[in-house]
Structure 1
Amino acid sequence: MGTSGSTFSVRQRWLIVAAILLTAALVQIPLVLNPDLGCLLTTNEEILDGRRLGIDVFELNPPLSLFMYMPAAWLARISGLAPEIIVIILVIIEIAAVLVTIDRVAATAKLDARERNVTILSLALLLAILPGAVFGQREHIAVVALTPFVAVTALRWRGLDVGRAAIVAGLGAGLAMSIKPFFALVVGLPVILDVLRRRSLRPLFTPETGLAALVVIGYGAVVVVAFPDYLSTYAPMVAEAYLPVRKELSGLLPLPVVVIGASLAFLRLAAPQHFKLWSDATPWLAASIGGAATFMIQGKGWPYMAFALCMFAVAAPLLHVRIRAVRPPVLIGGLAAIALVGLYLSSPAPGFPPLAARIEALAKHPRLLTITDHVGLGHPLVRQIGGTWVGSSCAAQLLAGGAILRLNDAQPTKAEQAKLDGIIQFERRHLLADIRNGRPDVILVDTYLLSSFPFDWLAWANSDSELQAELGRYREVEDVGRVRIFVDQSLPP
């Protein structure tokens, strides 16, 4: 951690942190509601209304990815505030708690006031401002939670005492790995490097590593006991049809190479004393490399999946640079690089044309359903128009989309083909039930497969005679870009 920067009083430090967090909250009000968050909030609201996970509603991700937003949905109901506003408030509270924890650990380690100021203010900016459109997503919440673990590991790397606050770091790391097991790479790589450096297994057996492991084991036990249907039915389909759908290595590798390369270059130029293999910056760089590995393993290439890679890559030089000793061109270049990282994280994914005004002109507060493999067609649209989502899964036919792609792009064995055909039939059966039970006023039909290939989703649905009969009650009223809009024929033209 750096030893540069102005020496503020404790009060001034936390006033600046409060200003940063308030700014982040205000910036996020118009930004935070994205497709994933809209989907997860809607599903939680359905569960609060009495629908049952795994029976009436289905979620692609493990249960914690869904239920971590239940407090926001519940608090919104009892407070009257919009749930997305509650999400912002809760994440800001999480960031504040993490910063207090790291500061307590730094105080126990007897870091001087200047280094504590640099650490806390830098991390406040990186956790609250840098995420941009990633704010409030699962990856953001997970990285915030595991940051104290990386900070504690970095202090232990220096041979410093971290005190009892390290227990909180273990809880946060366990939570992050429970949200997404891939984060074990971010948590584990700095520890493994410390094992290699010390030639001792002692870094593996600290209170925070033990507690993190217990949290993960406990969460696994809860899933086995409370959500057996997810493990026996849905998780195998996810593994068969969703996880294998990924970008080519050539499309994934450039981002980690550029981001980590830039981090190393800035360390070399602005903090040469921390450029050595076993320097104080190494744990932060190791966490960034772990983030790069999670990005590569997931293979989707979506910006929010790169948040751990980007955040820790920026933190490594930022926490160790001596600003006054940096030449102006290097400083300007570093700030520009951070800005570019922020822009990348907030870059919009290929999406859909504006549909809210068109749908509201057809039906006020409609019951809405989509036929697509993309969550972004129906969400957060249904919330923006005050409609009711009648699908059993916010992800719509995502598993079917993955299965179709695998069937078309590969040469599956007979056993694999049977599994993929079963997944496609599973999706058709649930779409039929959604139309029959939900009686949507409006159905939006996509014309692309995985946002990459032209695909006739209406023909896919009509290949089932029962679905064709149900869809016969709807008339097409408009094509908007890649989306076909159908309305119930009982609605006035």
Structure 2
Amino acid sequence: MNQRWIIVAAILLTALLVQIPSVLNPDLSCLLSEAEEILDGRKLGVDLFELNPPLSIYLYMPAALLARLTGIAPEIIVIILVMIEIIGSLFMIDRAAAAAKLGAGERCLSTCVLAFLFAVLPSAVFGQREHIAVVALTPFVAITAIRWRSLSPGAVAILAGLSAGLAISIKPQLALVVGLPIILAAIHQRSLRPLFTPEACAAAAIVIGYGALVVIIFPGWLFTYAPMVAATYLPMRKNLAGLLPFPIVVITASIAFLRQVSPQGLKMGDDATPWLAAAIGGAASFVLQGKGWTYTLYALCMFAIAAPLLHVRTKTLPVSVRIGGFVGVVLIGFCLSLSLREFPSLEQRIQALAKHPRLLAITDHVALGHPLVRQIDGTWVGSSCAQALTAGAILAQNNSQPTQEERAKLDGIINFERRQLLADLRNGRPDVILVDTLLQSSVPFDWLAWASSDPELQMELRRYREVEDVGRVRIFADPSRSER
């Protein structure tokens, strides 16, 4: 039993060394920068705007705060805090297994498999909201699986429920991951009791409490900004033909391997059913979000792999099954590690214009300014990471036939982001401005013309001169402040 924790320590240490140079990605960088801006005095929904609910930013606040107190890079602290979360999640699952009197071998397998799936499988997804949330809600799924076997997980179930509640508050779509297993348990038992377990009630209490806090503390974000997000950003999604193939393949493969490793084959009452249901919930979450981004696949992939691996009961499996399982895990890990570089390398070009520049971007893509601004030790002066609402409004106007009232609403949203940009230029006084030339990375679009259509914005932008075109990006600098 002690050896498994040595294995876990080795897994986490390996993941730590791999992640330190590579953890930064556009979304994590943007949210981390916004957390730092809040520490500097900005107010969410007033002079700082984020597409995601408030907890998405505050999730990274401890890392930003600890970085200022210790002098350690916040990116490294994010990795360390996620490792601590992983250990906490594994501990909860193990305590529940001990209370249920599961065998030492099963507990060993569970701890090592989940440590690998938490720390190594995520690859480029490591540290993103989806990763943090899935690690937090896995104990809930494990406890549902224990109750599925008519065993008691003990008092740690309440802690697992609180953890799952936080996870759902981070990413509401992940409610499907914990919801489907308990609904299936209610059907299996022909009783509503699985819906009202201590962990389910604890999770619901956290979600309701968080919702109340958002109403009280962030009314500007909730009642002004969120409706604009719902009108423009949420409708931007891939069609089902682009979303369904990967989940179908992964779920099918998981079921196929379950049939091989389970001694009785796969049946409704099988111990792996809650884990498979969680994987299907992850697939539904991915499709519901509709963006097709890699990190939104993590819940599906994690639970689809966990379902068969946690339930290997035969000591001798055919070589073909072992090889197939290994190849499947590697392929899924490879898919999660894929990271499409949307923009050319700009670090050296910008540093040649200004040291530690104040940076701003005019684009609908967060990856233009992030993690670039952190890599060049610059300062982000935007009130948001991208003009994503404008992109959604333009697409809605061009791809549908909005009524006069709807068009006026969309024009108001576009004007809102122009006013934001004007305030950023006046208050932030950027040294360098990056201007995109594509909409949604596919449609040619003159973002400079979009900004300059406002007379006040045009006046502010006259202070900048274009110094270079790099791929799809136009670079503008303020000659009065640039250092060559």
TM (normalized to structure 1)? 0.96
Which residue does 1:6 correspond to in 2?
A: none
Matched, 1:407 2:397: yes
Q: Deviations over 1:232-285 (max 9, x none)?
A: 101000000100000011000001101101101111223252511221111001
Matched, 1:263 2:254: yes
Matched, 1:457 2:450: no
Matched, 1:205 2:196: yes
Which residue does 1:285 correspond to in 2?
A: 276
2:476 is paired with a residue of what secondary structure?
strand
- Which residue identity is paired with 1:422? G
Q: Distance in 2 between matches of 1:272 and 1:408?
A: 56
Give 5+ residue unaligned stretches, structure 1: 1-9
2:315 is paired with a residue of what secondary structure?
helix
Which residue does 1:3 correspond to in 2?
A: none
- Which residue identity is paired with 1:365? H
After superposition, residues 329-348 of structure 1 pair within 5 angstroms as 329-348=320-339
Tell me the CA shift for residue 148 of structure 1. Answer: 0.2
Matched, 1:41 2:32: yes
- Which residue identity is paired with 1:487? A
Q: Distance in 2 between matches of 1:492 and 1:310?
A: 47
TM (normalized to structure 2)? 0.98
Q: Distance in 1 between matches of 2:59 and 2:88?
A: 17
Matched, 1:144 2:135: yes
Which residue does 1:13 correspond to in 2?
A: 4
Q: Deviations over 1:123-174 (max 9, x none)?
A: 0000111000111100000000000000000010000111001111101110
Q: Distance in 2 between matches of 1:232 and 1:415?
A: 19
- Kept in 2, the 8 Å contact 1:400–1:424? The answer is yes
Point out 4+ residue stretches in structure 1 off by more than 3 angstroms. Answer: none
Query: What is the RMSD of the two structures over their aligned residues, measured on CA atoms?
Result: 1.1
Tell me whether 323-332 or 238-247 shows the greater mean CA deviation: 323-332
Q: Distance in 1 between matches of 2:271 and 2:261?
A: 14
Tell me the CA shift for residue 452 of structure 1. Answer: 2.0
Q: Distance in 2 between matches of 1:274 and 1:314?
A: 17
Give 5+ residue unaligned stretches, structure 2: none
- Kept in 1, the 8 Å contact 2:425–2:460? The answer is yes
- Which residue identity is paired with 2:443? F
Q: Deviations over 1:457-477 (max 9, x none)?
A: 111111111111111111111
Tell me the CA shift for residue 415 of structure 1. Answer: 2.2
Q: Distance in 2 between matches of 1:82 and 1:447?
A: 33
Which residue does 1:379 correspond to in 2?
A: 370
Which residue does 1:367 correspond to in 2?
A: 358
- Kept in 2, the 8 Å contact 1:350–1:451? The answer is no
1:444 is paired with a residue of what secondary structure?
strand
Matched, 1:472 2:462: yes
After superposition, residues 63-78 of structure 1 pair within 5 angstroms as 63-78=54-69
Q: Distance in 2 between matches of 1:365 and 1:169?
A: 44
From 94, 100, 106, give the equivalent of 1:109.
Answer: 100
Q: Distance in 1 between matches of 2:366 and 2:298?
A: 21
Going from structure 1 to structure 2, the CA distance change for 1:272 and 1:349 (only over 3 Å counts) comes to farther
- Kept in 2, the 8 Å contact 1:170–1:212? The answer is yes
Q: Distance in 2 between matches of 1:338 and 1:195?
A: 31
2:469 is paired with a residue of what secondary structure?
strand
Q: Deviations over 1:177-232 (max 9, x none)?
A: 11111111111100000111111111111100000000001001101111111111
Going from structure 1 to structure 2, the CA distance change for 1:219 and 1:492 (only over 3 Å counts) comes to closer
Which residue does 1:423 correspond to in 2?
A: 413
Which residue does 1:125 correspond to in 2?
A: 116
1:211 is paired with a residue of what secondary structure?
helix
1:324 is paired with a residue of what secondary structure?
coil
Which residue does 1:231 correspond to in 2?
A: 222
- Which residue identity is paired with 1:226? I
Tell me the CA shift for residue 322 of structure 1. Answer: 3.5
Matched, 1:481 2:471: yes
Q: How many matched pairs?
A: 483
Which residue does 1:7 correspond to in 2?
A: none
- Which residue identity is paired with 1:445? V
Q: Deviations over 1:44-73 (max 9, x none)?
A: 111111222222211111110110110000
From 166, 183, 187, give the equivalent of 1:192.
Answer: 183
- Kept in 1, the 8 Å contact 2:263–2:314? The answer is no
Q: Distance in 2 between matches of 1:100 and 1:459?
A: 55
Q: Deviations over 1:366-419 (max 9, x none)?
A: 11000000111001111110111111112x211111111111111112222121
